[in-house]
């Protein structure tokens, strides 16, 4: 399944009925906490993952349980008020209707999924794992840690060696990232180091933002993230200072231009507005190819979460990030006037 074209959700967690029409390049979810952004990302990751292998009904149910970290799929039904939830989706390459339908009364899931696909999905974890992945893997295998499964997947991916041959994706993307790290990433006897002018530094001593950058670099170097990847990232701005946010904006744009379909969520003003600016000034930006971007704003209503979409933020009403910055300005103006009027 090279690209996920659309997704419809009925009676699933916060969603009564919503439909998303996706971009094959960059898709950005914004919304207040609790509006279901992470659930959408996990659902997309789930359907992508199920498309990569052969599954039976039990393993589909188990995948839901693992990714959503629940013992019982009934807890995923909206308001616990219906007997089922349904997920429908299409991929860009064909017109077939794919679906997953959970029937609570029978504890059964019906599904129609694409034939096994070569496209791989990768859900980038926000917990850093690069400095401890070797220890983490056997512990996760043995114990029930209650951690997100994507952390384990990332740890296993970091275990893999670099590719023998450099791909054009790597040639186009890695130089943009490597210059920000301030050194060369090394892997010796399974451990990662940053080699710079001061010497060889263990990644455990790096700042969290640098660890995130190092992880991304290595996952591109070893082919885990490549031009056919569907990349999922929940709040990539975590641990990043504004300068690195600007770098990551460029990287997402560059990766999407090389074929990666990106799904991400954000609460960050700078990140969301930088992405929006790419579309707003699409015709005027000549120094890089501008990817197709689509924003989805999730808003909680009494009838369930509503979705507003647009090519950039100027097309999104009630942008919660913008609203709060606007409120901040109003609060400061009010305080200014209060001081002005005080004796």
Partner 1 sequence: MSNFTFKEGNQKFIFKSSWDKVLQFDKITDYKNISNKVTCTKGVDFLGIFQGKKICFLEIKDFRKELKKSEKLENVDSLCINVAQKIKDTLAVILVGSRNSTNENEFFKKILKNFINSNTKIFCILHLETNNKLNLTTYQSKLKEKLGWLSCKVLVVNKDTFPPDLDISVEDV
**Which residues here bind partner 1, judged by CB under 8 A?**
322, 325-326, 328-329, 332-333, 336-337, 339-342
Nearer to partner 1, 140 or 269 (CB): 269
Report d(CA 14, CA 73) in Å as an integer: 14
**Shortest CB 322 distance to partner 1, Å:** 7
Beta strands 293-301 and 199-202 are: unpaired
DSSP 205: G
- Residue 7, classed as helix, strand or coil, is strand
Contact criterion met (CB below 8 Å) for 224 and 133: no
Of 165 and 340, the one with the shorter C-beta distance to partner 1 is: 340
What sign results for the dihedral spanned by CA atoms 53, 57, 58, 62? positive
| Smaller CB separation from partner 1, 281 or 325 | 325
State how far the Cα of 321 lies from the Cα of 132, in Å rounded to an integer.
Answer: 34
Query: Do strands 184-188 and 293-301 pair parallel, antiparallel, or not at all (unpaired)?
Result: unpaired
How far apart are CB 271 and partner 1 at their closest, in Å?
A: 14
Query: What is d(CA 32, CA 298) in angstroms, rounded to the nearest whole number?
Result: 8
Residue 300 CB, shortest distance to partner 1, in Å, is 24
Separation CA 201–CA 189 (nearest Å):
15
Q: For the beta carbon of residue 302, count every other beta carbon within 10 angstroms.
A: 5
Shortest Cβ distance from residue 86 to partner 1 (Å)?
Answer: 40
Between CA 181 and CA 183 the distance in angstroms is 6
Cβ proximity to partner 1: between 57 and 314 the closer is 314
Residue closest to 47 by CA, chosen among 95, 117, 96, 94: 117
Sheet containing 184-188: order of strands: 184-188, 191-196, 199-202
Q: Comparing C-alpha atoms, which of 297, 330, 310, 316 is closest to residue 32?
A: 297
CB closer to partner 1, 80 vs 336: 336
Query: Least distance in Å: CB of 176 to partner 1?
Result: 25
Retrieve residue 177's tokens: 């990232």
Comparison of 171 and 328: residue with beta carbon closer to partner 1: 328
Smallest distance from partner 1 to CB 269, Å: 8
Measure the CA–CA gap between 181 and 195, rounded to whole angstroms: 10
The Cα–Cα gap between 68 and 75 comes to: 10
3 state SS of 326? helix
For partner 1, which is the closer residue by CB, 198 or 329?
329
Whichever of 105 and 339 has its CB closer to partner 1, that residue is 339
Of 142 and 341, nearer to partner 1 (C-beta) is: 341
Q: Minimum distance from CB of 333 to partner 1 (Å)?
A: 6
| Shortest distance in whole angstroms from residue 252 CB to partner 1 | 22
Least separation in angstroms between residue 188's CB and partner 1 is 44
């Amino acid at each position: 399944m090279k690209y996920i074209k659309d997704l419809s959700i009925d009676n699933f967690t916060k969603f009564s009925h919503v439909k998303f029409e996706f971009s094959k390049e960059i898709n950005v979810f914004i919304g207040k906490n609790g509006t279901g952004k992470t659930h959408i990302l996990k659902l997309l990751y789930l359907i992508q993952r199920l498309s990569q292998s052969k599954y039976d009904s039990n393993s589909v149910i188990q995948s839901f349980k693992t990714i959503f970290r629940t013992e019982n799929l009934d807890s995923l039904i909206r308001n616990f008020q219906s007997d089922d939830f349904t997920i429908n989706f299409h991929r860009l390459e064909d017109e077939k209707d794919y679906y997953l339908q959970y029937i609570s009364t029978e504890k059964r899931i019906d599904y129609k999924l694409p034939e096994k696909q070569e496209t791989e999905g990768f859900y980038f974890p926000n917990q850093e794992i690069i400095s401890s992945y070797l220890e983490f893997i056997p512990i996760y295998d043995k114990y029930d840690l209650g951690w997100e499964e994507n952390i384990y997947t990332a740890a296993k991916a970091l275990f893999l060696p670099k590719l023998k041959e450099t791909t054009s994706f790597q040639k186009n993307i890695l130089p943009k990232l490597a210059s920000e790290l301030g050194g060369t990433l090394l892997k010796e006897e399974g451990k990662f180091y940053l080699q710079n002018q001061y010497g060889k530094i263990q990644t455990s001593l790096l700042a969290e933002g640098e660890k995130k950058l190092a992880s991304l670099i290595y996952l591109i170097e070893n082919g885990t993230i490549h031009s056919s990847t569907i990349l999922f990232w929940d709040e990539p701005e975590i641990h990043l200072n504004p300068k690195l946010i600007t770098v990551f904006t460029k990287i997402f744009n560059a990766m999407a231009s090389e074929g990666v379909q990106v799904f991400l969520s954000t609460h960050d003003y700078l990140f969301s507005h930088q992405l929006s600016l790419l579309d707003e000034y699409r015709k005027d930006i000549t120094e890089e190819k501008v990817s197709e971007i689509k924003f989805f704003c999730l808003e909680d209503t009494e009838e369930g979460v509503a979705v507003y979409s647009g090519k950039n933020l100027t097309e999104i009403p009630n942008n919660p990030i913008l609203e709060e910055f606007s409120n901040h300005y109003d609060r400061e103006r009010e305080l200014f006037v209060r001081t002005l009027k005080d004796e």
